[in-house]
A and B are shown apart, each in its own frame.
Chain A
Amino acid sequence: MKAPTRDDLIDFVYEEARMLDDGRFDEWLDLWTHDSFYWMPLDYNQEDAKHVTSLLHEDTFMRKLRVERFKGERTFSQKPKTRCHHVLNRPFIDHVDDEKGEYVTHTAFHYVETRLDDQILLAATARHELKLIEGKLKITHKRVDLLNSDAAFGNIQMFL
């Protein structure tokens, strides 16, 4: 890929969400660079991921662990399995640097997670930091801010 077009960036964000909804987690893991982080803050406008509590701050190992755990025979909270569903607004392209191959998108979305008779609806915003590596877009950082991140939740089991 030469420099990605706006459509390429937007398609990437949509495709990522579709992988999660389809449960194609191994493919999803391959979207990330080896030193990337997935961050879900606990507090509104939180700036520090490390020295106060976050909901998630996961490196490659932790994301892989989560995916492997989904597959396990004794993963009791996934018997039966959770399903999820994303509805995305069209992503904004907040930053383009073709020279460095770095891009930032901003996407508002609604997320539904269901298991047995329970279903939750969350409103959230995703900020993707992307990098063009060997002709492919990869995620270097994804920040997901829940609209109600400070609310008391039951289980949230999938990746948003």
Chain B
Amino acid sequence: MSRYANNPQAIQNLIRPTEVHRDVYIDQEVFELEMKHLFANTWIFVGHESQTPNKGDYFTTEIGTKPVIMVRHSDNEIYVLHNRCPHKGTKIAIDRTGNTGKFFRCPYHAWSFKTNGCLLAIPLRKGYKDTGLEESESVHGMAPVGAVKNYRGFIFARLNKEGPDFESFFGESLSSFDNMVDRSPEGRLEVAGPPLRYMHRCNWKMLVENQTDTCHPMVAHESSAGTAIDLWEKMDKPEGTQKPMAMEVIAPFMSPYEFFENMGIRTWPNGHGHTGVHHSIHSDYSAIPGYFEQMVEAYGEERAKAILGENRHNTVYFPNIMIKGPIQQLRLFTPIAADRTLVESYIYRLVGAPDMLLERTAMYNRMINAPTSMVGHDDLEMYERAQEGLHSDGLEWVNVQRLYQEGENFDEIAVENGTTERQMRNQFHAWEKYMTLTMEGDA
């Protein structure tokens, strides 16, 4: 029985100011509606332009659960097309990356398409003469998504033709992307290798919420970060030995509550927000020789200092990515089912900067976000326990109350104590908005 489709009121009833109903995490109908509405109304990250550097290069991925192809067309622009032959529905490409030359050719009946999706040819076309093919959907070729935006190399798409424009959807939150890209002396990033791929048996929103959850690191990650600090302290080493890069990466996870309280959280309209307004776990990394000089050369001293002085921790772009500007990492949380999420963690090279920065970034990625990561193991353990625990009928609501203030207005930018759950509430406020934006009620 359908409880939520065509019933905006029922969706709204799932979100209260300080708690959310468990159905947002465990109900498969709510999940299907997220794919139909939330993931169609909002701007979703697709890929980076450096993944398709040459004409004909393509990359296959999903927007929510919808398969798409990102491809560089002969005009050098990047297009995002539904990965579906307009004839019988066959996926046109299934390898993750490749070059298709000047056109795509469906492997089933050899219908072919230009790399902007337009129908190029159908074998034995005379069989469609006088059948009205010109009036069919199929004649238009591979359907493009509703809208595409290349923001400083990062490709976003909106499935729906109509909807909020890119700039008003993200607004000032784009400053985190700007800071990440500005850290390259040439103002350019390049993807560095394939992403980590980590399967989670939990709802995608648990992962997104965790990105600004600053009260869990010293608890869930005590076993890795705490043990690392103990080991390092007990190690036989000469006085003044510099901490190895790995310790710089993992030790800050054990920072006390006060550190996280003081780092601050900023929320932007439409569900975006970030931790680390004033400082973060990335603030105290050692300087990499030669890098600052390159930045001064490129930007001048004042601007270089401003760029490198901004050490935001995690920036959530609603609905389903997180970036870390200071280490050029992007994590994509792709929903598969109410209880299944694929997490892909990408890293990028700062073009023109020393390789050692990339070495630290790659180290961070594998140490913290790999399926073989000691830190990732305990996070996944928590999500999966929650996904199972929510099926208990003892309670129906999940608490997001920490540092709640009456009358919170999420249309305004706010900077708060770093342990607030305001950003989680901000996400659910946006969730409700974009779930119901295109939902027509039965009544």
Question: Interface residues, chain A, CB within 8 Å of chain B?
Answer: 40, 42-43, 46, 50-57, 59, 61-62, 64-66, 68-69, 72, 74-78, 150-157
B342-381 interface code vs A (CB 8 A; 1 in, 0 out): 1001010100000100110011011100111010111011
Given contact pairs A77-B378, A154-B201, A53 touches B366 in the complex (Cβ within 8 A) = yes
B370 touches A56 (CB 8 A): yes
Please indicate the chain A residues that have their CB under 8 angstroms from the CB of B372 in the complex.
Answer: 40, 55-56, 156-157
- How near does chain B come to A99, taking the closest CB pair, in angstroms? 33
Is B192 an interface residue, CB under 8 A from the partner? yes
* Interface pick from B35-43, B156-164, B220-228: B220-228
Contact of A65 among B195, B220, B224, B347 (CB under 8 A): B224
Which residues 366-410 of B sit at the A interface, judged by CB distance below 8 A? 366-367, 370-372, 374, 376-378, 380-382
A46→B193 CA distance, assembly (Å): 10
Q: How far is the CA of A81 from the CA of B165 in the complex (A)?
A: 49
CB-CB under 8 A from B94, the residues of chain A are none
Inter-chain contacts of A40 with B (CB < 8 A): 372
For residue A40, give the distance in angstroms from its CB to the closest CB of chain B. 7
Residues of B within 8 A of A (CB): 192-201, 220, 222-224, 226-228, 230-232, 235, 244, 246-247, 342, 345, 347, 349, 355, 358-359, 362-363, 365-367, 370-372, 374, 376-378, 380-382
Other-chain residue from B192, B223, B345, B377 in contact with A74 (beta carbon distance below 8 A): B223
User: Closest residue of chain A to B367, judged by CB?
Assistant: A62
Closest to B343 in A: A152
Does A54 contact B362, Cβ atoms closer than 8 Å?
Answer: yes
Which among B222, B228, B366, B371 is the interface contact of A54 at CB below 8 angstroms?
Answer: B366
Q: Are B199 and A154 neighbours in the complex by a CB distance under 8 Å?
A: yes
Q: A57-B366, A74-B223, A76-B378 are in contact. Are A155 and B371 (CB under 8 A)?
A: yes
- Total of A-B residue pairs, C-beta within 8 Å: 116
How many Å lie between the Cα of A12 and that of B227 in the bound state?
30
Which residues in B have their C-beta under 8 angstroms from that of A157?
372, 377
Contact of B194 among A42, A65, A153 (CB under 8 A): A42
A53-B192, A53-B366 given. 16 additional CB < 8 A pairs?
A52-B194, A52-B347, A54-B362, A55-B366, A56-B370, A62-B246, A65-B224, A68-B231, A75-B223, A76-B220, A76-B378, A77-B377, A150-B197, A152-B197, A152-B371, A157-B372
Report, nearest first, the 3 A-B pairs whose CB atoms are least far apart. A52-B193, A75-B223, A77-B377
Chain B residues with Cβ below 8 Å from A56 are 366, 370, 372
Cα-based distance from A159 to B382 in the complex (angstroms): 22
- A52-B193, A61-B244, A76-B378 known; A154+B371 contact, CB < 8 A: yes
A69 and B362 contact, Cβ closer than 8 Å, known pairs A55-B370, A61-B231, A76-B378: no
A156 to B355, CA, bound (A): 29
Chain A residues with Cβ under 8 A from B370's Cβ?
42, 53, 55-56
Q: Are A55 and B371 in contact (CB under 8 A)?
A: yes
Give complex CA distance A157, B378 in Å.
10
Query: Are A72 and B223 in contact, CB atoms less than 8 angstroms apart?
Result: yes
B391 to chain A, nearest CB (A): 16
Contact of A76 among B201, B223, B247 (CB under 8 A): B223
Q: Are B201 and A43 in contact (CB under 8 A)?
A: no
- The complex places the Cα of A51 from the Cα of B348 at a distance, in Å, of 10
Known: A51-B355, A52-B193, A53-B195. A66 touches B374 (CB 8 A): yes
